[in-house]
Chain A
Amino acid sequence: MATELEKISFETQPDRYNHIILLVDGPIARIRLNIQEDKPLREGYKLKLNSYDLGVDIELDDAVNRLRFEHPEVSVVCIESALSGMFSAGANIFMLGASSHTHKVNFCKFTNETRINIEEATQKSGQRYVAACNGLAAGGGYELALACSEIHLIDDRKSAVSLPEVPYLGVLPGTGGLTRVVDKRKVRRDRADVFCTVAEGVKGKRAVEWGLVDYVHPSSQFVDRVNERLKELAGSGNDAKGISLTPIGATVEGGTHKYRHVTLDINVESRSARLVIEGPEASAAQIPDDPAELGADWYALRMWRELRDAILQLRFNYPTVGTISIVSKGDLKNVLALDQVVYARKDHWFVREVLLQQARVLKMIDVTARTFYALVTPGSCFAGSLMEIVFASDRAYMLDDDEGDNGIALSVLNGGALPMYHRLSRLQNRFYEEQDTVDAILERSGEIIETQEAYDLGLVTEIPDDIDWEDEIRVALEERISLSPDALTGLEANLRFVGPETMESRIFSRLSAWQNWIFSRPNAVGEKGALTSYGQPDKPEFDWSRV
């Protein structure tokens, strides 16, 4: 168990899981929730009734990701419970009640990303998720089931699916619950309103009728019916051989997290960090006939896994480090060559998964509540997929040098292969409803674009020359660091996304934003707030103003 001061680690593997059992049998895999109540991530609460905390979710996330890379032969994944008569009671309330606002928000964000990844695996990786609710699926437990493409519920006259957050806790089913009920399951809004305010939830035939679940099975037949369905969905499977997702193993010294290709330098005192990304060697673009032979050490996969870990470190372990400068080192041409082969082989299952992994990490940056400034200097390698990091940043500063040594480049991957949550490419998001501009820029793919031109094309924010550079950057960073962190979070979250919404983007922009507001209100977290007084003898006391 970690104390508040210990850093959370996001690396795990099946033989170290505490809470879930991962079983693979040909095309059918099972993620069995077997949550150990005595092994919470932090002290102070017990994970009763398959309720979960971040520690559980880190394992769940690992399992989902591992199935995609290590078990491409799997085509259906069943999420089930090891407890009898209980699927999951959702996020642990005492954990939530005891957590800081920051932790709650980060926890929900991580959980949301995991749920979205389950759906992505279903849609993009051919791994269909089925929830086998052998008992009550409440709150976050039902939200986990909602992330699956179909839900089976036991019909024992007592087991229900429910979202009791509003009546019990005075907060929202905030990890996608409200959104998926209406957006994905198409439950009529008035019924959804009823469902979300009835603490005991809905069971049996009515649950099917309302669209809350897909199937109900009598107790005696539940296991068999689910298994039949899994077989039906699994089909004959395939013979793809997975890779081994080996640990990325960062070394941490002081504030420096050093990975093979990524270094995260934290300066807690100045509330800033520097993220250094090293580009690929030329050899990364040499792909064997079966790209899976490249394994987890392939730059196109490894660097992005490292970057993901670095972002999670920032989110959870350095809450006050608000301003991140991103720099890169390497050869633009190597990135372009690598992107080219990735694109050329994107239909191969492994390359497809690599590309999806890259897209997921970029989406994480899009919704990370930190300021990112990309600094483009000679010797950097922001091209193609790495240029997406610049586009994901709030600003980009590019050194205008006399020699013309500074450049960026676009590749075929900038044309939509790495979409944002609202499915626009970052170029489309940057030049909203200016498809001609986007197309003209994409026509330059493969060329090295020098500073002035990059500026003229609108690809970077400012281009100080070598005389001004140091001062400009210092002042820009100092200025940013001095601004209200809350206002910046709001500012960035609003400016980073334009145009359309999708279910995923709505989860972050609408559901999370409201949930985080409620999380900071006395009606939830005040001394007499509902979340605080859950499980206490006294009823919560509300300030009745509707705000």
Chain B
Amino acid sequence: MVDGKVNYDDVIPNNVAISDSRKLQRAIKEWHPKFMKWWWERGPESYQHNDVYLRTAITVDASGWATYAYVRMPEYKWGIFLAPKKTETIHFGDRQGQETWESVPGEHRNDLRRLIVTQADTEPGSVEQQQLLGHSAPSLYDMRNLFQVNVEEGRHLWAMVYLLMQYFGRDGREESEGLLIRNSGDADTPRILTTFNEPIVDWLDFFCFAMFTDRDGKYQLGALAESAFAPLARTTQFMLTEEAFHLFVGETGVGRTIRRTAQLMKETPNEDVTTVDAIPLDIVQKYINYWYSVSLDLFGSEDSSNAANFFGASLKGRFGESNRKKYPDPLCRDTAYSIECLDENGRKTTTEIPMRRAMNAVLRDTYIEDTYRALRRWNKVFEKEDIQYRLQLPSDRFNRKIGLHAAHQADVEGNFLTAEEWEKRKDEWLPTPEDKAYVKTCMVPVREPGKFANWITPPYRGVSGKPIDFEYVRL
């Protein structure tokens, strides 16, 4: 337990000098027990007393950011780290060329707080969504990866809370507490973003979430890593290094699922893998349609005055903003962004949005490019297994609830649908209760080291040089 006599630097690995800061010590002293209570109540269920082979960040350099050992999750050392400073000057927006900020300018306090709280809220949200998944893990390897993701989301929460505590005074402390009070899916106090209130009931959900939704996180963090507010830029930069693993879990998870299905299709009459408890590719495609479309919503509206303010005030840039080959114009005052939408008659029309207002769409486009790269790798599995099937990403107009495309329904090709047509046909594209029920039947827990459920292949290699049959979780 943390109290006044404890050396905070021992309890919380950090490079922000907690032991020199009365402000941080006071805030952490109040918040830490609440975080622990939250972790016990809403963190991974049933496995809190087990040893898990986890990676912990001790320092930000190459030698320390990934140290592996058996740890019980509640004893995990959630650290606070800032990546080394990349730049002394602001490199985009109206403040371009000025010094970056070491404290929050009063003028931007509310916007920055909102950006940080919105990002922070997703971290515990996802832990809550995944609370029960350990029970149906297809292997110890996967179970360990789930818990690794969970503790790192917990660390990301710490990273964001650090910013709130250090730079936002009492408001920041109240917001920090709010992050533990809101609860995924709760009727009264849900998580801020809808996607983080959607239940994650099976492992295909989890893999898709890690693949698509965590990838939104990567792009949001990357945009914040450009911020003129240096502590935010440095915190999110370091979070990105950990986020990469979550995307890996998602992409390879879906990849291993479809490889197993492809293998079984060749061995099964009529290619019907439901007879052997594997997941048909059509269902995988529906899961992809769902998680991809709700993740696109996370970027916010394509035409957004908030986005314009954030960019203009140098609070949030584009992904890889400093790459001036990709983004030659650091100001974006006079350019425009074209987007193809559907009008009320279902015709495609091109809308021009002033570039700054379109920053959400710009960020989303880099995300889409990235997801297509993963899609190509998945489809390579079919080439290798000599299967004709190819997975696809739906149109960005499909199943949208936020932004310019939310006005009308569209099919996966992006063609206009009336409300009636949508109701009639949506089950072709989105998982139905029957699909979900079927996937659930496949989710049989496998607890023996090196063994895997029948619906998924083993990975190519284990964690950090350990063999695949290593005892990743000691049950």
Contact = CB atoms under 8 A, between A and B. Distances in A.
Interface of A: 462, 464, 467-468, 471-472, 474-482
B26 interface: yes
B106 A467 contact: no
Nearest to A475: B106
Contact of B23 (A462, A468, A474): A468
B107 interface: yes
A467 B104 CA distance: 16
A472 B169 contact: yes
A484 to B, nearest CB: 12
A125 to B, nearest CB: 45
Contacts, number: 36
Nearest to A483: B107
A482 B109 CA distance: 11
B85 interface: no
B97 interface: no
Contacts of A475: 104, 106, 109, 169
A272 B107 CA distance: 14
B107 A478 contact: yes
B105 interface: yes
Nearest to A466: B22
Contacts of A479: 106-107, 109-110
B170 A468 contact: yes
Per DSSP, chain A at the interface is helix
B22 A474 contact: no
B103 interface: yes
Interface residues of B, number: 13
Given A471-B169, A482-B105, 19 more contacts: A464-B169, A464-B170, A467-B22, A467-B26, A468-B169, A468-B170, A471-B103, A471-B167, A475-B104, A475-B109, A476-B106, A477-B106, A478-B105, A478-B106, A479-B106, A479-B107, A479-B110, A481-B107, A482-B107
A480 B105 CA distance: 11
11 contacts: A464-B169, A468-B23, A472-B170, A474-B103, A476-B106, A477-B106, A478-B105, A478-B106, A478-B107, A480-B106, A481-B106
A474 B167 CA distance: 11
Interface in B267-310: none
Contacts of A468: 23, 169-170
Contacts of B23: 467-468
Contacts of A471: 103, 167, 169
Contacts of B107: 478-479, 481-482
B309 to A, nearest CB: 12
A466 to B, nearest CB: 9
Interface string B186-220: 00000000000000000000000000000000000
Interface of B: 22-23, 26, 103-107, 109-110, 167, 169-170
Nearest to B24: A467
Contacts of B104: 475
B169 A482 contact: no
A179 to B, nearest CB: 39
Contacts of B105: 478, 482
B108 to A, nearest CB: 8
A206 to B, nearest CB: 59
A229 B226 CA distance: 80
Contact of A482 (B22, B106, B167): B106
A62 B167 CA distance: 50
User: Chain B CB within 10 Å — which of A464, A474, A475 has the most?
Assistant: A475
Nearest to A474: B106
A481 B106 CA distance: 8
A30 to B, nearest CB: 54
Contacts of B170: 462, 464, 468, 472
A476 B167 CA distance: 13
Contacts of A476: 106
B252 to A, nearest CB: 44
A235 B22 CA distance: 72
Contacts of B167: 471
Contacts of A481: 106-107
A475 B113 CA distance: 12
A472 to B, nearest CB: 5
A477 B106 CA distance: 7
A478 B106 CA distance: 4
Nearest to A479: B106
Closest 7 CB pairs of A and B: A478-B106, A482-B107, A479-B106, A475-B106, A468-B169, A467-B23, A472-B169
A462 B105 CA distance: 19
Nearest to B27: A467
